Amino acid sequence: MTYDLYIGDKAFSSWSLRGWLMLEHFGLPYRAHAVGLYDGTMAADLAALSPARTVPALLCEDGAVLFDSMAMAEELATRHPEAQLWPAEPKARALARSITAEMHAGFSALRNECPMQLFHQWVGFEPTAEVRKDLARFEVLFSHTRQIKLEGPWLFGAYSLADAFYAPLMARIAGYALPVCADVSTYVATTLADSAFQQWRSEGIAKTYEPFPYPQPLKKTEWPTAHV
């Protein structure tokens, strides 16, 4: 079975990054199709996938269309149990599902005030109280993942869907130099150093934009180099 994955601009589409990582990181076969998120062609590009109207959207060989990232995650986990998209250990799996659902539905301040961009790091960005609350909430969730002693650098030892869903948040922390604790900083670096994430970013920043989406009245510096 080969999936058809429809995604937006890689440098900016956080939801598309999640969908792509679900397939790429677990070795599931797919063909990627670029949707004109910033070119004004998204409706036409997704017309054949109705009722899908956002990215990512996933077309299965049996004709099923998935147009919500959480639905994609659960359906792929059901169709490919051998890929172990969720942690195998029951307690870890329960927590992974919970924090992934919270990422899917929450962290609105971080989403709205720190749009994902992978070109550079903004210098001097001052997070609001609401953004700081979102960061503090992730630190709480992260602390709970550490209480489940599993081998490996990811949230639950081995890479899971939870890591795919939180990758854009880590990119926001990196892109805006947001203040987080040392343990979360290490996890950010792990995400940035991941070969799949680096491939996505490399392909994303190959495209130029004029004007640049989501500008900030700030200076910028190079995208941070990950050290893990």
Q: Enumerate residues 6+ apart whose C-beta is below 8 A from 58.
A: 3, 4, 5, 6, 19, 65, 66, 67, 72, 75
- Which residues form the domain of 146? 90-222
Question: 32: helix, coil or strand?
Answer: strand
Whether 156 and 95 map to the same domain: the answer is yes
> Is residue 65 domain-shared with residue 138, that is, in the same domain?
no
Determine the residue type at 45: D
Does the residue 228 lie in any domain? no
Are residues 15 and 54 part of one domain?
A: yes
Residue 179 sits in a domain of what CATH number?
1.20.1050.10
Among the candidates 83, 108, 143, a domain finishes at: 83
CA dist 156 → 40, 149, 164, 187 (Å): 39, 8, 12, 12
Task: Judge if 130 and 193 occupy the same domain.
Answer: yes
Positions of the chain with pLDDT lower than 70, given as ranges: 226-228
pLDDT of residue 37: 86
Co-location of 102 and 147 in the same domain: yes
158/177 same-domain check: yes
Clarify whether residues 139 and 213 are in a common domain: yes
